[in-house]
Amino acid sequence: MNSSFSISLLFSIIIILFSGCTTPEKTATLKPGMWRATINVQGSDLPFNFEVRHEKGLEIYLQNGEERIQLDEVRIEKDSFYIPMHIFDADLKGTIKNNRLQGRWTKNYAEDYSLDFTATYGQSHRFEPTELKPQDFNGKWRVTFIHADDQDTTEAVGIFGQTGTAITGTFLTPTGDYRYLEGTAYGKELKLSTFDGGHAFLFSARLNAQNELVGDFWSGKRWHETWSAVRDEAAALPDPDSLTYIKEGHDGLTFSFPDLEGKMVSLDDYKGKVVILDIFGTWCPNCMDETKFLKKWYDDNRHRGVEVLGLAYEAKDDYEYAKSRVEHMKNKWDIQYNMLIAGTLDKKEAAKTLPMLNHVLAFPTTIFIDKNGEVKRIHTGFTGPGTGHYYEQFIKEFNETVDELVAQN
């Protein structure tokens, strides 16, 4: 064997040995514990918090005040993460490096809707802490939101609870509430935020010389409103049972929509039963709250001859897409009542599918129908669990209505 051949053979063996000993690229992990995240919303950082757990596989819990939203479909490959936003057609994607996440929050159904996202391990504060003594913002406020472009106004009620610099609360509007808000009060200013996976809301305001709150509301990538508020313990909204009604010339509701198997379903299929009709969409945060309520309520009350029927109005005018989103929600929460694909989230288009209504003002809208098929009550919007006693009052009135309808012969 000549020397050149021996040297070549030796180099080949060394290369093979080193190749065989190469350490495979490790998959990154998310450390258990608290993380602080921000989404860049129209030039401002919207903060939120989440907790990572490993007890039952990898789970993430979004936190807004008392709320905990479970994200249990998290995937990690090498240094990349993919986090679907539970029932919403949205996700967080990016990379993991040195206990830090960096990527994008994307609404997949919306055109050009993606925002920068970062998160840091081991931080539990929301907004940056401050030692500046805050004013007292506790209580009820009469609020006016004004859209920046068309000057359209919305009257609302703000309810805030405050301990030191920590502040929580929500806004009630005629079409629903802003769910769980959490933030900080410092001096004459306050800041509040929420992130539920499908919606990112950021509020800021400052007390002026007249003790009015004046501030801004940013929602996601594009929506912006200014808002003002004055203390008013008597602040109230219009009766939610007066806003949507059957138009003159119509005796009741008639429709025929496909279910998730494509079978056409109408109210006639529920003759002799009390029906709770839920106009909803899987993209809608208040609908998420009401669906959770209706799921448990139906499980406990279906034996009474009461049916819940969901009419889904989804983000795309595509049956297969809508079906996939509704099926995802239905399977994830084990919803036992029937859901139909009724139309799209555009309120004017939704109203065309139910022309006997004066309008579709809000998602959700709840319609109570007696055993004879007669509409007895229409409740616009939903006051969810983030509203405290308003939610408890809704449940009380809901049960009273159903009890009355069930008792009728």
Span 143-153, pLDDT tens digits: 999 997 777 89
Q: What is the pLDDT of residue 25?
A: 61
Q: How many CA atoms lie within 13 A of 145 on its CB side?
A: 20
Query: For residue 294, which of 282, 307, 304, 303 has the smallest C-alpha distance?
Result: 307
Q: What is the pLDDT of residue 5?
A: 46
Q: What is the pLDDT of residue 11?
A: 47
d(CA 406, CA 54): 45
Tell me, yes or no, if the pTM score tops 0.95.
no
Q: What is the pLDDT of residue 2?
A: 53
Q: Which residues of the chain have pLDDT under 70?
A: 1-25
d(CA 179, CA 310): 21
Tell me if residue 36 falls in helix, strand or coil. strand
Q: What is the pLDDT of residue 130?
A: 87
d(CA 161, CA 197): 24
What is residue 386's DSSP assignment? G
Q: What is the pLDDT of residue 17?
A: 43
Q: What is the pLDDT of residue 301?
A: 98
Please name the helix (run of DSSP H) or strand (run of DSSP E) that holds residue 390, with its range, or none. Answer: helix 389-407
Q: What is the pLDDT of residue 150?
A: 74
